[in-house]
């Protein structure tokens, strides 16, 4: 979630436009599921206030973009898994720190189930206070492509 709040550490750093635009040119996102009303990247959004990870909140038949708050990575990973496999969401592209690949959530909900891409180099995410790229990212970045498998008849 990319809100402008002090004291939240890495939770509110935003995706740089160049990275979002590359992904959007492929997936044509219709919904940002981790944002606020000011910084949504897509046409529709499910904001922090609307709590997109609650069981009552469905992501619908959208093509979702997600840069989850650092402190809620596991919750968003599980939610994306469930929305794509068991509900109507057609795809969710999620940006995660590389160091989450050794977590329980990664192994339970991503590994062996969905494709992912490890980016070369370090992404400088946008500081919500300065609105400038913040260098010094101490982890690489992985993009996870949550999508249903194509079925052959």
Domains of the chain: 9-147 (3.40.50.150)
Sheet with 44-47, strands from edge to edge, namely 44-47, 31-35, 63-66, 91-97, 141-147, 115-118
Return the pLDDT at 80: 98
* pLDDT: which is higher, 128 or 80: 80
pLDDT in tens, 45-54: 998 889 999 9
**pLDDT-above-90 percentage for the chain:** 71
Instruction: Name the band, by pLDDT with cuts 50, 70 and 90, for residue 86.
Output: very high
pLDDT over 90 (residue 57) = yes
Across the chain, mean pLDDT equals 90
pLDDT in tens, 16-37: 999 999 999 999 999 999 988 7
pLDDT over 70 (residue 99) = yes
pLDDT over 70 (residue 134) = yes
Report, as an integer, the average pLDDT of 51-78.
95
Q: What's the Cα-to-Cα distance from 16 to each of 66, 83, 97, 129, rounded to whole Å? A: 13, 25, 14, 14
Return the pLDDT at 150: 85
Report, as an integer, the average pLDDT of 111-138.
90
**pLDDT-above-70 percentage for the chain:** 94
Return the pLDDT at 113: 96
């Amino acid at each position: 979630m990319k809100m402008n709040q002090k004291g939240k550490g890495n939770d509110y750093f935003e995706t740089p436009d160049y990275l979002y635009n590359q992904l959007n040119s492929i997936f044509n996102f219709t919904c940002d599921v981790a944002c606020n009303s000011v910084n949504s990247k897509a046409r529709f959004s499910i904001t922090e206030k609307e709590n997109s990870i609650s069981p009552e909140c469905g992501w619908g038949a959208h093509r979702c973009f997600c840069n989850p708050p650092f402190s809620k990575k596991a919750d968003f990973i599980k939610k994306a898994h469930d929305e794509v496999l068991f509900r109507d969401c057609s795809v969710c592209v999620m940006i995660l720190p590389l160091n989450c690949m050794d977590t329980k959530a990664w192994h339970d909900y991503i590994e062996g189930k969905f494709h992912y891409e490890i980016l070369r180099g370090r992404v400088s995410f946008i500081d919500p206070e300065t609105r400038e790229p913040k260098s010094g990212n101490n982890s690489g970045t992985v993009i996870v492509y949550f999508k249903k498998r194509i079925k052959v008849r």
